[in-house]
Structure 1
Amino acid sequence: MIPGVGNLFTRLLISYCGSAKAAFTTPAGRLLKIPGIGQNFVQSFSTHQTTALRQAETTLQLAEQQQVQLLFYTHPNYPTRLKQIADAPCLLYYKGTADLNHQKMIGIVGTRQATEYGKRITEKIVADLKKHNPVIVSGLAYGIDIFAHRAAVAAGLPTIGVMASGPDIIYPAVHRKTVEKMLENGGILTENTFGTKPDAPRFPARNRIIAGLGDCTIIVEAALKGGALITADIAHSYHKDVMAVPGNIDASVSEGCNFLIKTNKAAIYTGYQDLEELLNWDNALAAPAVKPSKSLLYHPEEFEPEEWQIIQLLLTTKEELMDNISWKVQIPVSRLASVLLGLEFKGVVKSLPGKKFALV
C-alpha cells in the first residue's frame, strides 16, 4: 500500500531486512545499501508508512468480517506453484475451502464468445478429469471460463475463480450464484484489495495467476487476440504445459487454438489421455509418491532451526537460487550465506553454478 513498493521491492526489502516488520524499523542508511534502493524510494517509503499501516489495519478488519484469508507469500497456505514465478503477487486475498496447494490443478480458459461446441467440450474435459480430482482454475468470465466453473461444480470438483477485482466485488455480477456454489468446495482468489474495480489492465495481470496456478492450461476456444491467448503465452513463458482444443478452421473462435497448435506453443487436446500423457498422470490416478529415502537421512534434532528449514525446502524443490531460499525460509541474505556455508561443511548442501544450492 506504499507507492512505489510493488511485488519486486517487497521481496527485496524482506530478503535483506528479514521480515516486513524489520523493513519498517531499518534505518534509512541501511536501506540505501540494498541494491536497487535509492534516495527517492527511501523518502517515499518513510513518508507513506503511517498512512499505509492505517490502511492495512482497515484491510485486516474487512478480511475478518468477510472471511477472506490474507495470504502473504511467506504464509504456509500461499500457493507454492506461484512461488516459482518471478512476477507472482506477494499478497493474495482468498475466500473459499479449496487447497491452493492441491496435488493436481488444471487451468481452463477461453473466449467469452463461446459456441455450443466450446461449452460441450469444456464440460467433457471437466467430466473426464473427475477421476483425477483436480482443482479447476479459471477466470470467472463469460463464456468458457464460467462453463468450466459450472461444470466443476456439477462434477463435485473444487474450482477456483481468479478475479481482476477485489474479493468483495464479483464480476460479472450475474455469476454471483455460481460463486456461492463454488465457495462450498472451491473459492475465489485475487491480488486486489477490497473495493478494487475490475479495470481493463487488471485482466492480463489476473491471467498470470491462472497460468501460474495450473500444472497445465487448456485453451478451449480463442480468437487470435484476447485474454485466452495472453494466458497461454504467459503459461508458456513460465515453462508450464499448455494444451489447445483444435477447432473448425472457418470459425474465428478457433483461430487462436489452431494457431497455438500450429506454432508448437500448445500440445493438441483431443481427449483426457493427451493430458494424462503430457503430465505423466499414471493409470493408478495418483501422483508418484516422493521417495522417502533421502529425507530419512536427515533428522531435525541434528540441525539448527534455520538449517532444518533450508533442508526441508531443498527436499521439496531439489535445487534453489540463493535469493529464492532467502525469501522462502525468511532468512536475510546477509545471514543466509553463513548458514549455507555451515551446511556445506556438514556435507549436507552443495553449491551449484549460478548461485544455486542443492542437497548432496
Structure 2
Amino acid sequence: MANNETLYTLALKFSKDIGDITARKLIEACGSASEVFSENKEYLYKIPNINKRAIYSLTRQSKDSLVKAEKEIEISLKKNIDIWTISDKRYPKNLRHCHDAPVLLFTKGNIDINKKKILSVVGTRKMTSYGRDFCKKIIGDIKRQDLVIVSGMAYGVDICAHEQTLNNNLLAVAILGHGLNEIYPKAHYKEAMEIAEKGLLITEFPFYTSPKRENFPKRNRIIAGISEGIVVVESPLKGGAIITADLSNSYNREVFAVPGRSTDLYSQGCNWLISKNKANIFYSYEDMEKHLNWDCYTNDNTQIKPTEISLNKDEEDIISLLQSKGKLQIDQIVILSKKPSHIILDIMFNLELKGLITSSPGKFFESKI
C-alpha cells in the first residue's frame, strides 16, 4: 500500500505551477510532503524563493490534486507499478543529489539500483555501422555483474545499448519519456518487457502521459543524473546526446565520447565534446573503469579489506566519519570534520593512496573498510 508521503508527493506533482524544484523546496521547508498540505498559508507564503502563484495554486487546488493522486496510486497498484518518492531509500542516490531531480519516480522491475555501479550509454537515433560496432564492443567488454547500463529506449544507440545489455545478461534500465501505459516507440515493446522482467523501467510521468516532445529533455536529465559516468557513442553537433552530456557535466558526472573521423556527421558531436574538454576520449571499457575508480571493487561489489595500515589521528577521524555517514562530498567532509579544506584534501589523497577510500564523480568519497 502507498503511504501518506507518496500520496502527498503525488498531489504536489499534480498541483499547477509547481515543478520538481519548487516541490522539493516546499518539502524541505515543511519537513515532509504531507506537512506541506497541513501548513497554514501564511507560513507557505514566507518560504523564500517560492513563486507566490505556486502557493496560491496549491492552496486553491489541494483537494483536486489529492483526488488525482489517489487515482494514480490505484492505477499503480493494479498495474504492479512502484512509486518512489525522493525520500524513499529505493530512490536512486546519484539522482537525488541533482538539484532538479524528480520528486518521485514510477518504476516497473525488481533491482536495487543503489547497490550497483551505473553507466549511461547514449547517442544519435541515426546510428551508423561504426556506432553499432562500438556499442557492441563497449558492452561486450563488460565482465562485472554489479553494473547497470542505462539508456532511453529510443531508436539508434539507445536500443542498441539495451539489446546488447540483455544479450550479455547484464542489468538494463530504461528511462522513459512517457507514462507506463505504453512503450514508445512501439517497435521496442519486446525489449521493454524484457527489461521490466530482468531490470527496471523508470519514468517520472504519470501512467497516462503520452510521449510528447517536451518530455524527452526531462528524461535526459534522469539519464545524466542517475549514472556515475556516461558514454556518448555517436552524435551530430546538435542533438539530445549533446544535451545529455552537458547535463552530465553540470552534475559533475564523468563524460566519455567515442571519437570518429572529422568528416563523419555522426562523430562530429563526439569530437566537439572532446575538443572542448567536455568529454574524455573513450579508449576502452577497461580504461573507463579505471578512470571511474570502479577497478577498486571486486565483481560482487564487496569491499576490499586492507592489510594492517597505520593511520594518524586525522585519518582515523575521516575514516570514522565516512563509516558513520556513508558517501560524502568533499565540501560535506570539510564542514563535518571542521578542518580546513587544504588539510582535508591532503588527508583524502593519503587515504586513497593507502586504498582505504574510493572517490567517484561529483567529488564523492566513501570508506572501503
Indicate the TM-score class for this superposition, using the shorter chain for normalisation: 0.7 to 0.9
Distance of 2:102 and 2:135 partners within structure 1: 28
Q: What secondary structure, in the 3-state scheme, does the structure 2 residue paired with 1:125 have?
A: helix
Amino acid across the alignment from 1:119 = R
CA distance in 2, matches of 1:172, 1:82: 25
- The unaligned stretches of length 5 or more in structure 2 are 1-13, 307-315, 342-364
After superposition, the Cα gap between the structure-2 partners of 1:33 and 1:350, relative to the gap in structure 1 and judged at 3 Å, is: farther
Please give the per-residue CA displacement for 1:214-242, whole angstroms capped at 9, x wherever unaligned.
11100111111111111111111111101
Asked whether the 8 Å contact 2:297–2:303 carries over to 1, the reply is: no
Deviations 1:49-80 (A, max 9, x none): 01000000000011111111111100110000
Computed over aligned residues only, the root mean square deviation of the Cα atoms, in angstroms, reads 2.8
Aligned mate of 1:56, from 69, 77, 81 = 69
* 1:238 and 2:251 are equivalent in the alignment: yes
> Higher RCO, 1 or 2 (CA under 8 Å, sep at least 6)?
1
Q: After TM superposition, give the deviation of residue 273 of structure 1 in Å.
A: 2.2
Cα offset, 1:16, TM superposition: 1.7
Give the match for residue 137 of structure 2: 124
Q: CA deviation at 1:315?
A: 3.3
- Cα shift at 1:351: 5.5
The size of the alignment, in residue pairs, is: 318
Tell me: CA distance 1:196–1:137, structure 2 relative to 1, closer, same or farther (3 Å).
Answer: same
Is 1:145 paired with 2:146?
A: no
Name the counterpart of 1:289. 303
SS class of match (1:282): helix
1:205 paired residue number: 218
Q: 2:288 aligns with which of 255, 271, 275?
A: 275
8 A contact 1:98–1:160 mirrored in 2: no
| Structure 2 counterpart SS, 1:174 | helix
Letter in 2 for 1:166: G
**CA–CA separation in structure 1 for the residues paired with 2:37 and 2:324:** 27
Alignment partner of 1:167 is 2:180: yes
Alignment of 1:217-236 (within 5 A): 217-236=230-249
Query: Aligned-pair distance for 1:39?
Result: 4.7
Output one character per residue of 1:166-196: Cα deviation in whole Å (capped at 9) or x when no partner.
1222100110001111122111111111111
CA shift in 2, pair 1:82/1:290, >3 Å = farther
Mapped contact 2:124–2:239 kept (Cα < 8 A): yes
Q: Which residue of 1 is the match for residue 209 of structure 2? A: 196
Deviates more, 1:145-154 or 1:200-209: 200-209
> Deviation per CA, 1:321-352, whole angstroms, max 9, x where unpaired?
7xxxxxxxxxxxxxxxxxxxxxxxxxx95568
Q: Does 1:317 align with 2:328?
A: yes
Q: Is the 8 A contact 1:73 1:90 kept in 2?
A: yes
Q: Please say if residues 102 and 135 of structure 1, whose CA atoms lie closer than 8 Å, have aligned partners that are also in contact.
A: no
Q: 1:261 to 1:132 in 2, by over 3 A?
A: farther
Contact 1:98–1:159 (CA under 8 A) maintained in structure 2? no
TM-score (norm 1): 0.81
Runs of 4+ with >4 A deviation: 290-298, 318-321, 348-354
Q: 2:302, 2:285 → 1: CA distance?
A: 19
> Mean alpha-carbon deviation: is it higher for 61-70 or for 243-252?
243-252
Cα–Cα, structure 1 residues 248 and 132, in superposed 2: closer, same or farther, change >3 Å? farther
The question of whether the paired residues in 1 share the 8 Å contact of 2:151 and 2:175 is answered with yes
Does the 8 Å CA contact 2:149/2:165 hold for their aligned counterparts?
Answer: yes
Q: Quote the sequence identity (%).
A: 37
Compare 278-287 and 190-199 and name the one that shifted more: 278-287
The whole-number CA distance in structure 2 between the counterparts of 1:320 and 1:77 is 25
Corresponding letter in the other structure for 2:89? P
Corresponding residue to 1:69 among 52, 64, 82: 82
The CA distance in 2 between the partners of 1:192 and 1:312, in whole Å, is 36
* 1:99 match: 112
Match of 1:258 in 2: 271
Residue 112, structure 1, aligned to residue 108, structure 2: no
